[in-house]
Amino acid sequence: MTASEHWAEQLRAWRIPEPILAAAEDSPWVLPRHVFTRRADALVAEPEGASFPAAWRALARPGTVLDVGAGAGAASLPLAARATRITAVDSDAALLAEFAHRAARLGAEAVTVHGTWPDVAGETEPAHVVLCHHVVYNAPAITEFLTALTAHARRLVVVELAAAHPLTSLNDLWLRFHGLARPQGPTAEDAVAVLAELGITPTVERWRRERSGSAEHPDFGTLVDVTRRRLCLPRERAGEVAEALRERAGGGIRDLGSSGDDVVTLTWTP
């Protein structure tokens, strides 16, 4: 089995069993847009981690930026001072509007492309620096996804991802409420293995988020509701979910399922 086949197989293992999904009161495919907007605002105010300085150095001569899976602009908008144009690609139109609003506030020239990567790669201009933060775990066709990123970059590709699949942060809760053992992969190491199949040896930097993930939900009640939905639990069990979350160590109102605090930055030249 190739590394890309292994990646796709591990992602397929995350499918929610049909009886649990059919019984869900609310859809588990919840997209808490406020997580993306709050993260973007935090990182524009104070960038964090290894991805920003790598992209910043590549823009020592100002140039264009392509942000794939841009959300509200957490990856690209901190680079606005050196970006001659930022192109944001995302499948969520509301988040693209949030990105455009923030770009205008920063005085950045911005272009938005509504769609899924790499489906819209053909209608997206290349850029000096290509960014892709916390998206690859949603890409079962990983070879095509990464190849399109590389083909669009002129100086550098920067991929940021959680060290392990971000939904692993919910694994103990799936076991607690459903008695269901969930997968452990794929991981950042699996992504590096796929890149090796493509003849790419990335620079790998591991780091830990200290600030930007501490308050991704506006309040504890929102965290409880999002977590309950992701676990396919009925509303009447929200109190049990709240109790389970209070038992967890650590502070802040952290989102479970978007990205972990242990983060890996992969960079390579096209």
Over the stretch 235-252, which tens digit does the pLDDT of each residue have? Answer: 999 999 999 999 886 555
For the four alpha carbons of 203, 209, 212 and 216, in that order, the dihedral sign comes to: positive
**Residue 250 covered by a domain:** no
Provide the whole-model pTM: 0.94
Which pair of structure tokens corresponds to residue 140?
């079962």
Q: What CATH number should be reported for the domain holding residue 208?
A: 3.40.50.150
* pLDDT at residue 195 tops 70: yes
Confidence (pLDDT) at 253: 67
**Residue 252 covered by a domain:** no
**Residue 241 covered by a domain:** no
How many domains is the chain built from?
Answer: 1
**Residue 175 covered by a domain:** no
> CA 39 to CA 27: how far, in whole Å?
24
Over residues 15-27, mean pLDDT: 95
Cβ contacts of 236 within 8 Å, gap of 6 or more: none
> What's the mean per-residue pLDDT of the chain?
94
How far lies 43's CA from each of 15, 38, 145, 252, in Å?
A: 32, 9, 25, 16
pLDDT tier for residue 255 given thresholds of 50, 70 and 90: confident
Range of the domain at 40: 3-18+31-168+180-213+259-268
* pLDDT at residue 213 tops 80: no
**Residue 220 covered by a domain:** no
How far lies 219's CA from each of 197, 202, 254, in Å?
A: 43, 38, 10
Confidence (pLDDT) at 119: 98
* pLDDT at residue 214 tops 60: no
**Residue 126 covered by a domain:** yes
For the four alpha carbons of 40, 42, 43 and 44, in that order, the dihedral sign comes to: positive
> CA 109 to CA 130: how far, in whole Å?
16
**Residue 244 covered by a domain:** no
**Residue 74 covered by a domain:** yes
